[in-house]
Amino acid sequence: MRPPYLLLDIDGVLIPFPNADGSTPATHARHDVVPTGRSADNPVTVWLDPAHGPMLMDVIRTGLVTPVWCTSWRQDATTLIGPLLGLPALSYVDLPRPQITTSHPNGYLWKRDHVDAWLGDAPAVWIDDDFTGLDHAWAAERTAKGTSTLLIQPDPHHGLQPAHLTGLTTWVSQLPTARAA
């Protein structure tokens, strides 16, 4: 059977939210990037932890998951953000662009309906900082129906931590598919 997908968010996971005083973690380095559709003289400043690239590569190299960007950066995740972390060109979920003013227009993460359709019956571990209780219920229901689903939710001010990936690896290695491999 196929390995589970690893769906990766960026904002609040690899790019932390600034603290109230505008500061970002000392671990992160500043980059100015020009997202698709933006003019070169109007870049966006992002903060990235150079340790995240090797951390993610350690997981990717196990072959236990199939990594895919799942972020409103869409293709720019592949072409702009990933390379800054030394990551290979990962594919991405081509999310829609809904006209919404909240990330939970129906009480759950706006990406979820699209992800649900995209995944079909594939198992998945999904890292995003913005799940609600309804998303966790969705994951539990998928798992109960035999489609293993793990949500990992970093604190958006701290972003992805090594323990998140340790938990991911433990979870994946305990799946029936991993044991059978």
**Site residues for Mg ion per CB under 5 A:** 9, 11-12, 129-130
Residue 126 Cβ, how far from Mg ion at the closest point, in Å? 11
Q: What is the dihedral of CA 10, 13, 153, 75, to 10 degrees?
A: 10
Nearer Cβ to Mg ion, position 9 or 49?
9
Residue nearest Mg ion, Cβ-based: 12
Residue 11 Cβ, how far from Mg ion at the closest point, in Å? 4
Nearer Cβ to Mg ion, position 160 or 175?
160
In whole angstroms, what is the distance from residue 97 CA to residue 114 CA?
A: 11
Q: In which residue are the tokens 């939710």 written?
A: 153
Residue 128 Cβ, how far from Mg ion at the closest point, in Å? 6
| β-pair partners for 41 | none
Residue 106, token pair as written in the block: 């129906």
Nearer Cβ to Mg ion, position 5 or 131?
131
CA gyration radius for the chain? 16
